[in-house]
Amino acid sequence: MALSAEESGRLAGLLTSHDDQVTQRWTEIVTGSLRGRLSQAELRRQVQELHRAIVTVSEQGDLDLESERAAELRAVLAELSQGRARQGFSATETAVSVFALKEVLLELLDAEQNPTALRDYVAFSSLIDEMGLFTFESFVRTRESLIADQAEQLLELSTPVVKLWEGVVAVPLVGTLDSARAQVVMERLLQTLVDTGSPYAIIDITGVPAVDTQVAQHILKTVVAARLMGADCIISGIRPQIAQTIVALGIEFGDIATKASLADALRHVLRLTGVETSRRASRREA
């Protein structure tokens, strides 16, 4: 797939001798394919950068996209694909930006009437194909890392542990709890208890659409682990259907305090702490 030294020399010649014409035409084609979602000036800058990178590497002799010398060109291609992936363009729209060069070259070769034109065009084409595939791969890689980042952010977002009162933290759970998420919630809640020195935690499940045995088990384990550490958990926001499921599944909540709403749970905790202080006060009087 690599271009020989003569071929890449001719490519460099073609691209430099018609410098303005190439970038002008190339920009036009790309602008058309993206239907004006990127400004012409922005696209021209990208095309010029690509143009410069291809010229630089093809002037240095035989051209192989995988070679050490083509590192700069690969970097420009990767940057282009990353930009497109982040801006929400499709993989096709990204690759077209590279493939458009074929059309430009064909027009140039046609005009020149060179005897080696056909052979050159085939060779250039396969190089451009390779570049197109390269953009495709970097595009996919960027998208994958975006997805992974978003999944992590989602996990962070969906498991906030907030301080409600001095010595009281709460986790409002929203959405489906799977095993992985339940584990993250559990660890984060317990760590927050240590960090804030809070002896009370409220687990609010108002936003949890359904509770199955596994989810219930995870919640129970969290409560038991918190107790081992010296903190008490209260579960709030149990909706009627969920209460029915819990009973139907035969899940024992034992002596774990449950409250209808987050407000009830907070009131319960404050009364617990309040009672303690008032009792202590009366004791001191006695």
Partner 1 sequence: MERVPILKIGDILLVSIQVDMSDQTAVQLQEDLAERIVATGCHGVVIDITALDIVDSFVGRMLSTIASISKVLDAETVVVGMRPAVAITLVELGLSLHGIRTALNVERGMELIASARADEYAENLDAEPDAETTASP
Give CA–CA dist 193/199, Å, rounded. 7
Give CA–CA dist 232/234, Å, rounded. 7
Encoding tokens for residue 237? 């926001």
Distances (CA, A) of 139 to 34, 82, 126, 144, 278: 16, 6, 20, 9, 65
Signed CA dihedral, 14, 17, 19, 25: sign only: negative
Residue placing its CB nearer to partner 1 in the complex, 35 or 283? 283
Binding to partner 1 in span 242-281, by CB under 8 A: 276, 280
Distances (CA, A) of 200 to 30, 63, 142, 196, 266: 60, 67, 43, 11, 10
Q: Let me know: does 93 contact 31? Beta carbons within 8 Å.
A: no
* Residue 227 touching partner 1 (CB under 8 A): yes
Q: Let me know: does 233 contact 171? Beta carbons within 8 Å.
A: no
Smallest gap from residue 175 Cβ to partner 1 (A): 22
- Which of 119, 163, 221, 267 touches partner 1 (CB under 8 A)? 221
Q: Which residues pair with 232 in a beta bridge?
A: 200
Residue placing its CB nearer to partner 1 in the complex, 111 or 184? 184
Number of residues lying near partner 1 (CB under 8 A)? 22
Smallest gap from residue 249 Cβ to partner 1 (A): 20
* Residue 229 touching partner 1 (CB under 8 A): yes
* Residue 118 touching partner 1 (CB under 8 A): no
* Residue 81 touching partner 1 (CB under 8 A): no
Residue placing its CB nearer to partner 1 in the complex, 147 or 194? 194
DSSP 175: S
* Residue 35 touching partner 1 (CB under 8 A): no
Identify which range of 39-47, 134-142, 204-212, 229-237 contacts partner 1 by CB under 8 A: 229-237
With the CA atoms of 101, 104, 106 and 110 taken in that order, what torsion angle do they form, in degrees rounded to the nearest 10? -160
Binding to partner 1 in span 163-192, by CB under 8 A: 186-187, 190-191
Identify which range of 5-13, 145-153, 195-203, 248-256 contacts partner 1 by CB under 8 A: 195-203
Smallest gap from residue 199 Cβ to partner 1 (A): 6
Residue placing its CB nearer to partner 1 in the complex, 82 or 198? 198
- Which of 63, 127, 226, 266 touches partner 1 (CB under 8 A)? 226
Encoding tokens for residue 234? 């209260």
* Residue 224 touching partner 1 (CB under 8 A): yes
Smallest gap from residue 282 Cβ to partner 1 (A): 9
Residue placing its CB nearer to partner 1 in the complex, 57 or 170? 170
Helix extents (H) in the chain? 5-17, 19-34, 40-58, 71-86, 91-112, 117-158, 179-196, 213-229, 240-249, 262-285
Using CB under 8 A, list all residues that contact partner 1: 186-187, 190-191, 193-194, 197-199, 221, 224-231, 276, 280, 283, 286
